[in-house]
Amino acid sequence: MDYIILIISSLLINNILLAQFLGNCPFLGTSKRMDTAIGMGIAVIFVLTIACIVTFWVQHKVLDPLGIDYLQTVSFILVIAALVQLVEMFLRKFAKPLYTALGIFLPLITTNCAVMGAALLIIRKEYTFTQGVVFAIASASGFTLALILMAGIRERLEISDVPLALRGTAIGLITAGLMALAFFGFQGMDAALTALVRS
Partner 1 sequence: MKQVIQMAVVLTLICTICGAALSGIRSITAERIVYQRLINVQGPNVEDVLKGSENDLIAERESVEIDGEEILLFVGKKNDRPWAVAYETSAAGFGGELTIMVGYDLEKDKLTGLKIGTNSETAGVGSRVTQDPFTKQFKGLDIDLKFTGGPCPVGVDAISGATVSSMAVSEALKKSVALYPKIKEAVL
Partner 2 sequence: MGLMREFTKGLWKDLAPFRVVLGLCPILAVTKEAETGLGMGIGVIFVLTCSNVIISSIRNIIPRQVRIAGFIVIIASFVTMVELFSQAYFYPIYQKLGIFIPLIVVNCIILGRAEAFASRNGVIASALDGLGIGLGYTMSLVLLGSIREILGAGTIFGVDMMWASFRPFTFMAEAPGAFVSLGLLLGIMNAVSRKS
Residues lying near partner 1 in the complex (CB under 8 A) are found at 2, 5, 68, 70-71, 74, 125-126, 188, 190-191, 194-195, 198
* Total Cβ atoms within 10 A of residue 8: 17
Q: Confirm if 135 and 6 have CB atoms less than 8 A apart.
A: yes
Scan residues 68-87 and list those touching partner 2 (CB under 8 A): 70-74, 76-78, 81
Residue 94 binds what, of partner 2, partner 1, none (CB under 5 to 8 Å, by partner type)? none
In the chain, the amino acid numbered 1 is: M
195 binds, among partner 2, partner 1, none (CB under 5 to 8 A by kind): partner 1
Based on the shown chain and the rule CB under 8 A, indicate whether residue 177 belongs to the binding site for partner 2: yes
CB 19 within 8 A of CB 183: yes
CB of 126 to partner 1, least distance (A): 6
Q: Please, what is the minimum distance in Å from the beta carbon of residue 68 to partner 1?
A: 8
177 contact choice in partner 2, partner 1, none (CB below 5 to 8 Å, kind-dependent) = partner 2
95 vs 129, which CB is nearer to partner 1? Answer: 129
Q: Which of 65, 67, 97, 163 binds partner 2 (CB under 8 A)?
A: 163
User: What's the rounded Cα separation, in Å, for the pair 176 and 39?
Assistant: 20
Residue 9 carries which DSSP code?
A: I
From residue 6, give the alpha-carbon distance in Å to each of 20, 69, 115, 133, 194: 15, 26, 18, 11, 10
Establish if 32 lies at the interface with partner 2 (CB under 8 A): no
Contact with partner 2 (CB under 8 A) among 86, 95, 173, 197: 173
Cα–Cα distance measured from residue 72 to residue 58, given in angstroms and rounded to the nearest whole number? 9
Contacts of 99 (CB under 8 A, 6+ apart): 88, 91, 92
Residue 164 is given by DSSP the state G
Interface with partner 2 (CB under 8 A): 18-25, 28, 70-74, 76-78, 81, 110-113, 116-117, 120-121, 124, 163-167, 169-178, 180-181, 184
